[in-house]
Chains A and B, each alone.
Chain A
Amino acid sequence: AQSVSQHNHHVILSEAASLELGCNYSYGGTVNLFWYVQYPGQHLQLLLKYFSGDPLVKGIKGFEAEFIKSKFSFNLRKPSVQWSDTAEYFCAVNKLTGGGNKLTFGTGTQLKVEL
């Protein structure tokens, strides 16, 4: 069965610190990869996505992620976090099948950015 692991469950950073959140998946076939963010009291929003091509993808709000196929990883990075980045971050994997989309989420990382 497909699984997605996020090893950092809670991260606390000061403003301007750099961020890296880990994401690993277990599925060996062709996958599409996503990072979603859920701000307090708000709905899930897409941060960035990887389908193919350049493994370094850039998303909204200065976030980027790197797909490393050999490591089954898709880590999220941001050089300098802001207080407004406080949110829950979910990595998600969609394996390409002939049927419907089956997006599987990781357990999430709660990020708190302190002033």
Chain B
Amino acid sequence: DTEVTQTPKHLVMGMTNKKSLKCEQHMGHRAMYWYKQKAKKPPELMFVYSYEKLSINESVPSRFSPECPNSSLLNLHLHALQPEDSALYLCASSQFGENRPGANVLTFGAGSRLTVL
């Protein structure tokens, strides 16, 4: 299995809702990532988990809360979002958390398209 699976594919939520995005990989990868991609823009790094520990937080607002329950799963909990948070949220994984030659190739999921009303 060489895929990163993200659910849901589409999510519409109000500004007062609480929802979660889920990501799963079964490649034995030990690093997982959340990226945000707005239309016609490149993906922007939000969070990196390395060996189930948060290693990078790119100054993301606290209304986004990541969680890594185990090495295969990554969640992004959403609360009190703003309309400008509407975007495609991409999950990715890589073989190791640290940079080893050949190990830091990211495999991306198809994304969860979030619309905040």
Residues of A in contact with B (beta carbons under 8 Å apart): 32, 34, 36, 42-46, 49, 51-52, 90, 94, 96-108, 110
Min CB distance, B60 to chain A, in Å? 14
Supply 14 A–B pairs (Cβ within 8 Å), ascending by A. Answer: A32-B99, A34-B105, A43-B110, A44-B43, A90-B43, A96-B99, A99-B98, A100-B50, A100-B98, A102-B45, A103-B45, A105-B44, A107-B41, A108-B40
Closest to B103 in A: A101
Cβ B109 vs Cβ A43 within 8 A: yes
Closest to A32 in B: B104
Give chain A residues whose Cβ lies under 8 Å from the Cβ of B33: 101, 103
Give chain B residues whose Cβ lies under 8 Å from the Cβ of A52: 101
Q: When chains A and B are docked, how far (Å) is the Cα of A46 from the Cα of B98? A: 19
Q: When chains A and B are docked, how far (Å) is the Cα of A88 from the Cα of B48? A: 24
Min CB distance, A102 to chain B, in Å? 6
Q: When chains A and B are docked, how far (Å) is the Cα of A107 from the Cα of B42? A: 5
Closest to A52 in B: B101
Closest to A91 in B: B42
Give chain A residues whose Cβ lies under 8 Å from the Cβ of B55: 99-100
**Known A44-B90, A108-B42: A49·B98 in contact at CB below 8 Å:** no
Cβ A101 vs Cβ B94 within 8 A: yes
Closest to B106 in A: A103
Q: When chains A and B are docked, how far (Å) is the Cα of A92 from the Cα of B101? A: 16
Cβ B106 vs Cβ A98 within 8 A: no
A101's partner among B42, B99, B108 (CB-CB below 8 A) is: B99
Cβ A105 vs Cβ B102 within 8 A: no
B56 contacts partner chain A, Cβ-Cβ < 8 Å: yes
**1/0 per position for B88-104, CB-CB distance to A under 8 A?**
00100010011101101
Q: When chains A and B are docked, how far (Å) is the Cα of A45 from the Cα of B90? A: 12
